[in-house]
């Protein structure tokens, strides 16, 4: 019998309780029990087990602490993102003020600035409905006083057309602000409006400047663009802006197009929304996404003409552009307010929470996926201060409701009417049987964290573009942006949405059963 290798002194050697015939004999059993007890008391194996137990408990404690820390970080980063959002809003306001020739420091305070730069009606509304901390859509959407612009002789820009937005439903026209959602009169909770209603835009002065954005590398788009520019100039007497590339194309065609304006720098693009009354897009959904991405703040009303293969956001037919533009320039226009998501990438390497990169606004979605890595993505997701889940799979899509018919749909997300405010949380190929897509309300902040123990990097892409690598420790914080994209409707939001899913996706197309006459009971 070989001595136990655990007994270094040679004492307490135990023999196998198994006799040679294969049965247990009692003496050897006694011996072996004693030996096991000795082994349990003295053996380093037991110490190893104890150490393993201790170690795993310590690991569990560390994991708990890490989760707590991450939750704390989530809250801090959500707050940082909220502050950043407010900062961006303020910066855009200041930019507008600077453009109007008034320095932000000339203001006595926030209220004063607002009351001096907004038309009286808008100011009253904003203080009435939102107070200081809210974002009034009419401030974002209704163009303010721009008299100073026309007075400023050094600037060649013309006065921007003003318009008024109203919310109406089934013929009921009402100016009631959409923030006035819940009332607590006499202790009863009632809802006045549950989401924004169909919006109607009425021009208060004639639009004067149109920006035309076109899909590149398409001869048919180029031809329509040339024609449209000429028509808008000769029949509507409008100022026209195009991208530098298009201006070159126009000038190559003819010197006639010399009147068309463009820009040279990104700073000029930043203030484009203060000059342009209407944006026309010629292309597919990608061109609408491109147009939206040009406006990092407020977006002028957008008229999307379809010249692509699948137009979910392009209800206007380019062959009828004259009649369409004629009626849109007169107004009123039914508008779909397409919400956007504001995304901040927060690097773990950044020294503090506020050192975030420039925010990116998306009209469809932000996708966090595994990129070229063959490992499963491992993403920790938080909603405000609450842990949502860990995504283990190909990735995750955070989509707007406008984007619900795009990538999110392909990944199994629901289609949502674009006027419903919300954030879709749709996994891509999750390695789990029970991971169903979610829809969050519009007021939450979602944070996606690449954990430190992630095997590979994750990649974020914004409306299918601008890929950014997310290393372990990096996070993406996402909330609803205060600047929606107002797109003109062919009929109204609902009719256009249903038409797009019927025509674009052949949604629920099925042969109708033949009628064979009533069946016998
Ligand atoms: N598996 C997929 O379905 C998949 C994969 C990658 C990207 N995409 C989508 O492509 C978008 C980028 O579009 P692009 O035109 O620049 O690229 P693209 O030219 O590759 O076109 C992608 C397709 O998505 C359609 N699309 C875009 N936005 C849509 C929307 N809101 N509703 C319905 N369909 C929409 C376009 O019409 C086009 O047919 C991304 O935002 C993403 O949603 C989809
Ligand atoms: N003005 C522009 N400048 C640069 N790129 C653009 C511009 N407009 C569109 N694009 C890009 O060109 C690509 C194709 O555009 P778009 O999606 O509009 O056309 P399409 O693919 O023919 O139409 P659909 O989306 O209906 O299939 C998109 O990736 C879009 O981002």
> How many Å lie between the centroid of ligand 1 and the Cα of residue 464?
7
Helix residue spans in 142-282 (DSSP H): 147-151, 219-236, 244-253, 266-270
Residues with CB under 6 A from ligand 1: 284-286, 289, 309-310, 312-313, 364-365, 402-403, 405-407, 410, 463-464
Location of structure tokens 């409306």:
463
The whole model's pTM is what? 0.75
The mean per-residue pLDDT over the stretch 501-511 comes to 94
For residues 94 and 346, the model is more confident at: 346
For residues 385 and 110, the model is more confident at: 385
Location of structure tokens 């938080």:
382
So what's the pLDDT on residue 153?
39
Q: Locate 25 and state its tokens.
A: 């004999």
Are 283 and 308 a contacting pair, CB within 8 Å?
Answer: yes
Q: Locate 390 and state its tokens.
A: 């860990």
> How many Å lie between the centroid of ligand 1 and the Cα of residue 311?
10
Are 354 and 434 a contacting pair, CB within 8 Å?
Answer: no
Q: Locate 70 and state its tokens.
A: 């991450």
DSSP element (H, E) containing 305:
strand 302-306
So what's the pLDDT on residue 121?
38
> How many Å lie between the centroid of ligand 2 and the Cα of residue 357?
26
Mean pLDDT, all residues of the chain: 79
HSE (CB half, 13 Å, CA atoms) of 398?
Answer: 32
List the one residue out of 278, 312, 272 whose CA is nearest residue 294: 272
- Counting from 1 in the atom list of ligand 1, the atom nearest the Cα of 402 is 31
Coil vs helix vs strand at 22: coil
d(CA 201, CA 166) in angstroms, rounded, equals 7
pLDDT digits (tens, 9 = 90+) for 115-133: 333 333 333 333 333 333 3
Phi–psi pair at 244, nearest 5 degrees: -55, -40
Least confident of 40-44, 49-53, 147-151, 460-464: 147-151
Peptide bond into 332 cis (omega under 30): yes
So what's the pLDDT on residue 349?
74
Instruction: Reply yes or no on whether the pLDDT at 486 is more than 70.
Output: yes
Instruction: Reply yes or no on whether the pLDDT at 239 is more than 60.
Output: yes
Domains of the chain are 209-338 (3.40.50.10330), 341-483 (2.60.200.30)
So what's the pLDDT on residue 195?
66
Q: Which residue owns the Cα nearest ligand 1 atom 17?
A: 286
Ligand in closest contact with the CA of 216: 2
The mean per-residue pLDDT over the stretch 161-181 comes to 60
pLDDT digits (tens, 9 = 90+) for 199-218: 999 999 999 999 999 999 99
Give percent of the chain above pLDDT 90: 55
Are 405 and 312 a contacting pair, CB within 8 Å?
Answer: yes
So what's the pLDDT on residue 368?
98
As annotated, the active-site residues are 285
Are 281 and 302 a contacting pair, CB within 8 Å?
Answer: yes
The mean per-residue pLDDT over the stretch 236-241 comes to 97
Phi–psi pair at 222, nearest 5 degrees: -60, -45
So what's the pLDDT on residue 518?
76
So what's the pLDDT on residue 171?
46
Instruction: Reply yes or no on whether the pLDDT at 140 is more than 50.
Output: no
Instruction: Reply yes or no on whether the pLDDT at 12 is more than 50.
Output: no
For residues 88 and 169, the model is more confident at: 88
d(CA 144, CA 515) in angstroms, rounded, equals 60
């Amino acid at each position: 019998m070989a001595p136990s290798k655990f007994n270094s002194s040679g004492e307490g050697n135990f023999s196998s309780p198994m006799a040679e015939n294969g049965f247990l004999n009692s003496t050897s059993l006694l011996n072996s029990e004693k030996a096991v007890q000795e082994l349990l008391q003295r053996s380093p194996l037991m110490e190893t087990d104890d150490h393993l137990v201790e170690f795993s408990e310590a690991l569990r404690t560390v994991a708990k602490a890490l989760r707590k820390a991450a939750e704390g970080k989530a809250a801090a980063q959500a707050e940082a993102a909220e502050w950043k959002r407010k900062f961006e809003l303020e910066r855009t306001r200041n930019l507008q003020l600077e453009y109007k020739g008034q320095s932000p420091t000339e203001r006595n305070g926030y209220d004063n600035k607002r009351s001096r730069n907004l038309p009286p009606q808008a100011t009253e509304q904003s203080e009435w409905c939102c107070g200081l901390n809210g974002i009034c859509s009419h401030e974002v959407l209704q163009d303010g006083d721009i008299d100073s612009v026309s007075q400023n002789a050094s600037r060649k820009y013309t006065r921007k057309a003003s318009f008024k937005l109203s919310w109406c439903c089934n013929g009921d026209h009402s100016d009631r602000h959409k923030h006035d959602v819940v009332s607590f009169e006499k202790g009863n909770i009632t809802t006045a409006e549950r989401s924004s209603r169909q919006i109607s835009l009425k021009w208060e002065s004639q639009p004067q400047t149109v920006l035309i954005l076109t899909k590149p590398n398409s001869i048919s788009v180029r031809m329509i663009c040339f024609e449209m520019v000429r028509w808008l100039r000769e029949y509507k007497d409008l100022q026209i802006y195009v991208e530098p590339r298009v201006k070159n194309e126009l000038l190559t065609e003819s010197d006639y197009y010399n009147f068309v304006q463009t820009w040279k720098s990104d700073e000029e693009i930043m203030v484009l929304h203060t000059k342009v009354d209407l944006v026309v897009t010629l292309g597919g959904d990608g061109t609408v996404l491109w147009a939206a991405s040009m406006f990092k703040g407020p977006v002028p009303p957008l008229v999307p003409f379809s010249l692509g293969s699948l137009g979910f956001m392009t209800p206007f037919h380019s062959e009828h552009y004259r009649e369409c533009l004629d009626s849109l320039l007169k107004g009123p226009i039914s508008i779909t307010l397409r919400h956007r998501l504001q995304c901040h990438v927060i690097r773990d390497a950044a020294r503090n929470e506020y050192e975030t990169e420039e925010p990116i606004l998306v009209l469809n979605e932000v996708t966090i996926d595994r990129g070229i890595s063959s490992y499963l993505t491992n993403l920790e997701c938080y909603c405000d201060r609450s842990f949502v889940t860990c995504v283990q799979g190909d990735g995750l899509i955070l989509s707007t409701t406008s984007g619900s018919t795009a990538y999110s749909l392909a990944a199994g997300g629901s289609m949502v009417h674009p006027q419903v405010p919300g954030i879709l949380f749709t996994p891509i190929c999750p390695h789990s049987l029970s991971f169903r897509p979610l829809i969050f309300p519009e007021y939450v902040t979602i944070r996606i964290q690449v954990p430190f123990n992630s095997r590979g990097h994750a990649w974020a892409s914004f409306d299918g573009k601008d890929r950014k690598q997310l290393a372990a420790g990096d996070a993406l914080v996402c909330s609803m942006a205060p600047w929606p994209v107002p797109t003109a409707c062919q009929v109204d939001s609902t009719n256009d949405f249903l038409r797009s899913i019927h025509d674009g996706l052949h949604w629920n197309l099925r042969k109708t059963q033949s009628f064979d006459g009533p069946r016998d009971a």
